[in-house]
């Protein structure tokens, strides 16, 4: 019997930084400031809440860095859930994480497709085929191997940073035009309806969702050449960079326009661009989207393929998905991830999947933070190249926050949350029927 090809340990810190930035910074930062301006119209609070979000994300990274270095296996939070709570918890977390990554790739590709169609003056119905082409191109390119995926992630993430910083520069250079082109809308008073602590908490929730993605490196733990150092470095250094970009964008927005003009905007970047450049502002935002979002598509496909590979390697998925090509790419997993993303686009079901996945997104973090406590107690002598600073207080704080967010997710979307719970119930007999023996795989060092 031919020995299976392992994943290759050839990724470095630069990839960890790129995949974190690519996975985290998406369309949210172009949209969310409008929601924040409604809740926190004071410019200092409007900008300051992004610092709070970074601190909270940093505490989460502090906890997950311990797990990632203790259990350096590619596959994301699935690895932690299975190790701490058993095969069934891993089965649920792994499959839902894989599906949500494919759905996210579809959703992001659709935004890119809509922007390409707009810039090229194509019929809006072309957005969907263009999105499918974007997914297909990245899937095929990523089959070239891990080194190619590394370079693609670094280049697309660099392009994203340049595009967003160009938008920031435009806000400062052309801010003098804004007062002529945009009157202060009546929506300015909307934020007064929600005041005090409640407004702050709602704004914090939106900001923390916008920061989500900082856990990107843990999906590639066994492919990093020094996971003990590179996992925490990748998450912490990239969070500093992401926070800097987010702060610059929001400072630039309030420099160009008062928060009253941003309040209630479904696309804050579009509001600012229109204020600065009139009708040409939409073209500017579309170009920023076309340049900046492909890195997120790339990251979602890379991460999704690693989740399916890891689930399958442990006997909880598709045996064929453990195949790794000579370049180090889990090829079958990559093709299946891209195919599911295209299927979501064809059926239009990705929005439903993402709505349901929002419940699991918070639940996964809750399990992971709980796993830090469980494994500290159960395996106190395990090798931990990085230990969470300030544990148990820091880990307890983010765990409490996750529980609060989980409760708010259920309250805000009870229907989809109940549907998600239904999936968990139905998944158990599926898990019992499909579980197989783990597939022995050589380590990346063999």
Taking 60 as the threshold, does the pLDDT of residue 95 lie above it? yes
Residue 444 lies in a domain: no
- Neighbouring CB atoms inside 10 A of 343's CB total 15
Structure confidence by residue, pLDDT tens digits, 104-149: 999 999 999 999 999 999 999 999 999 999 999 999 999 999 999 9
Q: What is the pLDDT of residue 158?
A: 95
Task: Give the integer Cα–Cα distance in Å for 88 and 104.
Answer: 24
Query: The domain spanning residue 294 has which CATH number?
Result: 1.20.1740.10
Residue 441 lies in a domain: no
Structure confidence by residue, pLDDT tens digits, 382-429: 999 999 999 999 999 999 999 988 888 788 778 888 888 888 888 888
Containing structural domain, residue 103: 13-432
Query: Considering the entire predicted model, what is its pTM?
Result: 0.92
Task: Give the integer Cα–Cα distance in Å for 20 and 243.
Answer: 12
Task: Give the integer Cα–Cα distance in Å for 253 and 178.
Answer: 11
Are the CB atoms for 58 and 236 separated by under 8 Å?
Answer: yes
Taking 90 as the threshold, does the pLDDT of residue 189 lie above it? no
Task: Give the integer Cα–Cα distance in Å for 140 and 74.
Answer: 21
Please give the mean pLDDT across all residues of the chain.
90
Mean pLDDT over 352-380 rounds to 90
Residue 438 lies in a domain: no
Residue 2 lies in a domain: no
Residue 297 lies in a domain: yes
Residue 137 lies in a domain: yes
First to last CA, the chain: 17
- Neighbouring CB atoms inside 10 A of 311's CB total 26
Are the CB atoms for 195 and 41 separated by under 8 Å?
Answer: no
Number of domains in the chain: 1
Residue 8 lies in a domain: no
Residue 4 lies in a domain: no
Query: Residue 3: which pLDDT band, with cuts at 50, 70 and 90?
Result: low
Check the CA dihedral 205-208-213-219 and report its sign. negative
Structure confidence by residue, pLDDT tens digits, 299-354: 999 999 999 999 999 999 999 999 999 999 999 999 999 999 999 999 987 777 87
How many residues would you count in the chain? Answer: 446
């Amino acid at each position: 019997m031919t020995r299976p090809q392992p994943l290759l340990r050839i990724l470095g810190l630069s990839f960890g930084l790129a995949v974190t930035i690519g996975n985290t910074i998406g369309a949210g930062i172009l949209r969310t400031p409008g929601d924040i301006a409604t809740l926190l119209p004071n410019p200092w609070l409007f900008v300051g809440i992004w610092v709070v979000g970074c601190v909270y994300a940093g505490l989460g990274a502090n906890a997950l860095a311990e797990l990632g270095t203790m259990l350096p296996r590619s596959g994301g939070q699935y690895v932690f859930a299975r190790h701490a709570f058993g095969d069934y918890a891993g089965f649920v977390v792994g499959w839902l994480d894989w599906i949500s990554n494919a759905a996210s790739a579809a959703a992001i590709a659709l935004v890119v497709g809509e922007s390409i169609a707009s810039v090229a003056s194509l019929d809006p119905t072309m957005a969907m085929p263009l999105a499918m082409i974007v997914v297909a191109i990245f899937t095929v390119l990523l089959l070239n191997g891990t080194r190619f995926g590394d370079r693609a992630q670094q280049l697309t993430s660099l392009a994203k940073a340049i595009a967003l910083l160009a938008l920031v520069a435009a806000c400062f250079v052309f801010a003098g035009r804004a007062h002529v082109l945009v009157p202060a809308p009546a929506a300015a008073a909307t934020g007064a309806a929600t005041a005090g602590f409640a407004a702050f908490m709602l704004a914090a929730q939106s900001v923390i969702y916008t920061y989500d993605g900082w856990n990107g490196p843990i999906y590639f733990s066994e492919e990093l050449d020094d996971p003990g150092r590179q996992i925490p470095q990748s998450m912490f250094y990239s969070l500093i960079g992401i926070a800097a970009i987010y702060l610059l964008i929001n400072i630039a927005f309030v420099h160009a326009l008062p928060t009253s003009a941003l309040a209630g905007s479904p696309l804050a970047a579009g509001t600012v661009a229109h204020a600065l450049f009139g009708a040409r502002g939409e073209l500017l935002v579309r170009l920023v989207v076309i340049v900046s979002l492909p890195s997120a598509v790339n990251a979602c496909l890379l991460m999704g393929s690693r989740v399916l590979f890891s689930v399958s390697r442990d006997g909880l998925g598709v045996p064929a998905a453990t195949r790794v090509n000579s370049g180090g790419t889990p090829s079958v997993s990559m093709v299946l991830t891209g195919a599911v993303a295209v299927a979501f686009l064809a059926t239009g079901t990705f929005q439903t999947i993402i709505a349901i996945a929002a419940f699991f997104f918070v639940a996964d973090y809750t399990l992971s933070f709980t796993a830090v406590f469980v494994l500290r107690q159960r395996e106190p002598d395990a090798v931990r190249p990085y230990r969470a600073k300030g544990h148990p207080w820091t880990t307890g704080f983010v765990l409490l926050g996750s529980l609060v967010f989980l409760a708010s997710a259920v309250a805000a979307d009870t229907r989809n949350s109940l549907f998600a719970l239904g999936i968990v119930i139905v998944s158990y007999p599926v898990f019992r029927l499909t579980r197989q023996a783990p597939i022995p795989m050589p380590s990346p060092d063999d």
